Amino acid sequence: MSAANVIEVRGLRTQFGDHVVHDGLDLDLRRGEILGVVGGSGTGKSVLLRSIVGLIRPRAGSISVLGRDVGALSGAAREALERRWGVMFQDGALFSALTVRENVEVPLRAVPGLADADRRALAGLKVSMAGLPVKACDAFPSELSGGMRKRAGLARALALDPEIVFLDEPTAGLDPIGADAFDRLIVALRDALNLSVFLVTHDLDTLHSCCDRIAVLAEKRVLTSGTMAQMLQIQHPWVHEYFHGPRARAAMSSRRKGD
């Protein structure tokens, strides 16, 4: 595994019954970058994320994370690797019966010897880092707005000081102002914590504002990857329409005004 990469996927094949989602998929996440993963409906963006973190077992291929073969690990070795990444699923995926602080404490409970008071204090710190007010710690998910639930999910993903953060559609359903604030937060956290970020999104504004590189899923594989400037030169029909269509032009115009 290259020292420049924190994730390497090679020859990945995932399928459910007779339905093949990925076939021969290769992907790298470089250390310290924000990688945006895009693709049409049904191309398996979230399936890829879940395969990398071990929630879905691929039929073939290899997945290496931080130099370890994910498929070959079990027990304590697997748990040790999982503590080095954090995952924010769509809409936060919070436990509804727990407060925000208690949700963030869940992964911290696996840390041996961590006192209750220290665990509570660390959870509060992560909530603040995610941009939530202190009073949100004692709120239940049902009492939060969609944007606040996403931030709470991000706080839980950051609980164990991970090296990699996986974000699944972090700005979906947010208003433009809230989405822009979340994009800025992702970049600020990456810079402050030296994170590597695997970001599944369909949000063109997010791709423009915070992604260093973009990977396009199509035809059951990563069709192409590169910077936004490189994406604009790709002539594949779907890629061209995605990055040159009306929504893309609006995102580019908005980005220029922001600059």
Question: In whole angstroms, what is the distance from residue 249 CA to residue 254 CA?
Answer: 9
Q: For residue 133, list its beta bridge partners.
A: none
> Where in the chain are the domains?
1-84+164-259, 90-161
Question: In whole angstroms, what is the distance from residue 71 CA to residue 142 CA?
Answer: 36
pLDDT digit string (tens) for 121-132? 999 999 999 999
**C-alpha distances in Å from residue 211, one per residue of 118, 206, 215:** 34, 7, 10
- 1-84+164-259 is classed in which CATH architecture? 3-Layer(aba) Sandwich (3.40)
pLDDT digit string (tens) for 131-175? 999 999 999 999 999 889 999 999 999 999 999 999 999 998 888
157 close to 165: Cβ distance less than 8 angstroms: yes
**Helix axes of 100-108 and 146-157: crossing angle, nearest 10 degrees:** 20
At 250, the pLDDT band (50, 70, 90 cuts) reads: low
Question: For all residues of the chain together, what is the average pLDDT?
Answer: 91
- 19-51 in b/e form (b: 16+ CB < 10 A) is eebbbebebbbebebbbbbbbeeebbbbbbbbb
pLDDT digit string (tens) for 217-248? 999 999 999 999 999 999 999 898 888 876 65
